[in-house]
Structure 1
Amino acid sequence: MEDASPYKAPDTLPSAAPAPIAVQVRLPTETTRPITIMWAVALILAAISLAGVVYAAIRFAKMPEGSLPPLSVALVAGGLLFDVCLYLATAWGVRRRSRVAACVLLGYYLLGQTLTFVSGQRALGPSLFMTLIVAFVMILGTLETFNAHRYVARARQQPPRPRLSDDPAFAPKPAAGE
């Protein structure tokens, strides 16, 4: 005989909430365009740094046998190689809409440009103008990366309502002759 006591726990417990439905969120173009431009700029910066590494390697190759390259050239080549790796890694992260990668890319670029201008290695003419344009693009990309995460969180919190036309009661009726 089964025990029908109302105080006994059932063998299977009902789930507290239904499993969340994975909502595919499509970001608006106003959000994705600055992010795309930001990682493209990071790829361009990586290519420029890679050109510097290739130039330093050519200088190393042209040196006579047995002579060591100047330490400054080796340090610059190593620093540029680090730039290439960091720019490529952060560009990949920004493309995947990583907020950390966007902040690291922006901070590293601003730090590098600030040190270049303060040390007097670059004049304040057209290079300052280009630096400001690239910094503006990176700031916009970083802000839009945060906005993209906010947009996705809001869309997952409030999924779109089902349309009335999706209700089977309102489905089109088949023709009488069919």
Structure 2
Amino acid sequence: MRLSQSDLLLFRPTEHTYIIHDHSILNRWFVERAYKARSIKMVEYEQPIPHCVVYFNLKRDVCASLSPSGMVKSEAFNLGSHRDHWFCLVARCNTDCFGLYLGMLDDDQRPLSVRFAFEYEFAAMSKRTNEFVSRRKGLCTFSYKWAIGIHNMFAIPWTSFIGEDSVYFVDGVLHLRAELTQLS
């Protein structure tokens, strides 16, 4: 495969790929990296109240690899004035269904130095409307480091969720959104 310099910057290999570059004597095999956390896109608002919207997109093959009991984490993010507390989204296969969770990254179960409350909403894009459809809303108060979420986000079995005719994969990508609004 012959790539230009700009193509090299944007290159994402599929399995094993051999790259030839005209200006390099070091033409090599490249192997895709295994990431510990998947990237997110986040929009954060500070006024009138701290609020963030986190977009977490997963390809169908990543979701398929979660079965029967795997999980994938998003990269870490903060919420509002709680800059010393890091959160992530966790997508997982729960035996026979898809679950989405918001968790604090530290596994330590010590009480937090300050309690804080927030509203949350989990949503997924539907192929039918090309819009996000709310799957769960709620209020939560974190006083310990733990997770909240929805065990069966789509209320369908895993095989229906991951199937080619699934309404939740738009062009082969599952688009998830978490909205978080700080209350205290």
Category of TM-score, reference length = shorter chain: under 0.3
Structure with more strand by fraction: 2
Larger gyration radius, structure 1 or structure 2: 1
Structure with more helix by fraction: 1
